[in-house]
Structure 1
Amino acid sequence: MKLSDLLPDFVFPPSQPFLMGTPERELGALAKTYGGTRESYREESPQHRLRLPPFAIAGTPVTNALYAIYVADAGACPPLIWRGATPPDHLRDCPVTDVSWEDAQHFCRWLSNLMATPYRLPTEAEWEYAARGSDGRRFPWGDEWDPTRANTRDGGPGVVTPVGAYPSGISPWGCLDMAGNVWEWTASLDAPYPYRFDDGREDPNAPGRRILRGGSFANPRGFARCACRFRLAPTVRNEFLGFRLAFSTTS
């Protein structure tokens, strides 16, 4: 199969203000509903309004099938979960996992050179806007949890599923798999809110942990909230970590 056949479809969210994060007044309720304490959710506050420059984001994460072309062409190390040089057939249409932030960066550079499009990881703010739209909803489909709309521990099969397997979990702008299935690396450094794109957190060469979003098939529903933030060192790899593509556009 050709590389172009394996590229995801992209969506182009409209450039309009949106609410990022969680209001401080809701932190206690989150602790009651999902566990932990108010302070467990402090990193999501204060909620603030942003308007982002135009961008495009992939409707689904990068699959094992697409990543396999990169491995073969660039001589990159295959994910350990493949147990070989190519992914097993049952994983080809699933999100690639067992990839670090650094691996994702190398993939984006490789693909950009081949396709003449400046592919990159989405920023944390772009990811959240693509997931929740402009109205600050809790999950991509709305404020109420529905286990049939996402692959999480609350009703999922307990393993990664093919991209797009939960079409009813689609976001307002048309993105799939933004709740559950695999955690997704973003470009952004772990830094407090309010989010600012010009404060150094988007410096790809800066040291520090990088933000992941979306939760995974092994996590309960609280981690699948659009505002949930997680962070790891950029060298970490495991079976729960994947990524999707983005690129900047002009208005």
Structure 2
Amino acid sequence: MRCSLLLCALLLCAAQATAGDDGPLVPETVAIPAGEFIAGSDRAEREYAYSLDEKAYGHSITRKQGWYEGERAKGLARTKAFRIMATPVTNRQYAAFVKATGYRAPDVDRATWEGYGLIHPYRRTRRFAWTAGEPPEGRLDHPVVLVTHADAVAYAEWLSSVTPRDWRLPGELEWEKAMRGRDGRVFPWGGRWDPAKLNSHDAGPFDTTPVGSYPGGASPYGVLDPAGQLYEWTADPHGAGRFTVKGGSWDDKGCGVCRPAARHGRPADIKHILVGFRLVAE
């Protein structure tokens, strides 16, 4: 049930005035205007992405497997106006949700993880896992990971119930516009690859970092962590039981997958150390 206008106003004031252990209830957002923008990619951009991967990895697997062939054809798209979280949802913000609702804390057991068939060993998940409902030490301002698509939706529904706004996962086009602006640039900061502007395996710590650690890589609208750091859930399906994720991660080199036009799907129920989310508000 939605809160009354008076209660919502009181909650908003309290959330903006305090930033205690539970973190602020109302995340900072960036306004994205209504209108057209250039979405997707053309042959030249995809070739550039493959060449970046080949240089970084020393092989042509992404080209041979056609990783970027499913991208939207470059052209004009349109969105309504919306606001998007300035950074991905952090452990600090997600902890307020877990504490208030008793919702399950981010974690994954060995059998489930090994059943995914991923290249990361199970031991690597332990630094991201929560203990007794508490985030890992020293990582309150890192993005939350090990969350399924349903977990992200549940957080959005809770945040909608305790703040004056209605929150949801972004559509793929909304996400792309927020991260690349209107002019169809290849990366959020411009047309050329620069490993200093994001958290990727090229120059990063091979781990998540506190959100907003790469302000030089902000999008034209001022959105932080628009590339690298972690893949982000969107609201758009990507085949049966899957949803589109965008953004690239701390594990990627190259970084063809870090372009806002890049897209691929993940199973809705996967709890991955490379996947988190941010929300939009109407």
Residue 65 of structure 1: which of 92, 97, 118 is its match? 92
Residue 144 of structure 2: which of 96, 109, 112 is its match? 96
Partner of 1:233: 267
Residue 114 of structure 1: which of 145, 162, 165 is its match? 162
Cα gap change, 1:23 to 1:8, in 2 (>3 Å): same
Contact 1:183 1:242 in 2 (8 A): yes
Residue 24 of structure 1: which of 43, 55, 58 is its match? 43
Letter in 1 for 2:34: S
Residue 37 of structure 1: which of 47, 63, 81 is its match? 63
Secondary structure of the structure 1 residue equivalent to 2:24: helix
Aligned-pair CA distance for 1:238: 1.4
Contact 1:64 1:92 in 2 (8 A): yes
The root-mean-square deviation of aligned C-alpha atoms, in Å, is: 1.7
Cα gap change, 1:144 to 1:72, in 2 (>3 Å): same
**Would you say 1:218 and 2:237 are equivalent positions?**
no
Percent identity (aligned): 38
**Would you say 1:76 and 2:121 are equivalent positions?**
no
Contact 1:183 1:216 in 2 (8 A): yes
Distance across 1 between alignment mates of 2:134 and 2:22: 15
Letter in 2 for 1:217: W
**Would you say 1:246 and 2:267 are equivalent positions?**
no
TM-score (norm 2): 0.78
Contact 2:25 2:163 in 1 (8 A): no
Aligned-pair CA distance for 1:170: 0.5
TM-score (norm 1): 0.87
TM alignment of 1:193-204, pairs within 5 A: none
Residue 86 of structure 1: which of 134, 141, 144 is its match? 134
Aligned-pair CA distance for 1:8: 2.4
Partner of 1:125: 173
Contact 2:35 2:80 in 1 (8 A): no
Contact 1:24 1:47 in 2 (8 A): no
Letter in 2 for 1:223: V
Partner of 1:152: 200
Cα gap change, 1:241 to 1:26, in 2 (>3 Å): closer
Distance across 1 between alignment mates of 2:191 and 2:197: 12
Distance across 1 between alignment mates of 2:257 and 2:149: 19
Secondary structure of the structure 2 residue equivalent to 1:43: coil
Secondary structure of the structure 1 residue equivalent to 2:69: helix
Contact 2:241 2:268 in 1 (8 A): yes
Contact 1:10 1:59 in 2 (8 A): yes
Higher CA-based Rg: 2
Unaligned ranges ≥5, structure 2: 1-19, 54-59, 108-128
Contact 1:20 1:48 in 2 (8 A): yes
Q: Name the count of aligned residue pairs.
A: 233
Distance across 1 between alignment mates of 2:194 and 2:80: 32
Partner of 1:53: 80
Aligned-pair CA distance for 1:123: 0.7
Aligned-pair CA distance for 1:2: 7.2
Contact 1:8 1:61 in 2 (8 A): no
Contact 1:98 1:238 in 2 (8 A): yes
Letter in 2 for 1:208: G
Aligned-pair CA distance for 1:89: 3.2
Cα gap change, 1:215 to 1:75, in 2 (>3 Å): same
Distance across 1 between alignment mates of 2:42 and 2:80: 24
Contact 1:24 1:42 in 2 (8 A): no
Partner of 1:194: none
Aligned-pair CA distance for 1:27: 3.3
Cα shift readout 1:27-74 (whole Å, capped 9, x = no counterpart):
344333324227331111311211111111011011101101111111
Secondary structure of the structure 2 residue equivalent to 1:82: coil
Secondary structure of the structure 2 residue equivalent to 1:98: coil
Distance across 2 between alignment mates of 1:151 and 1:25: 25
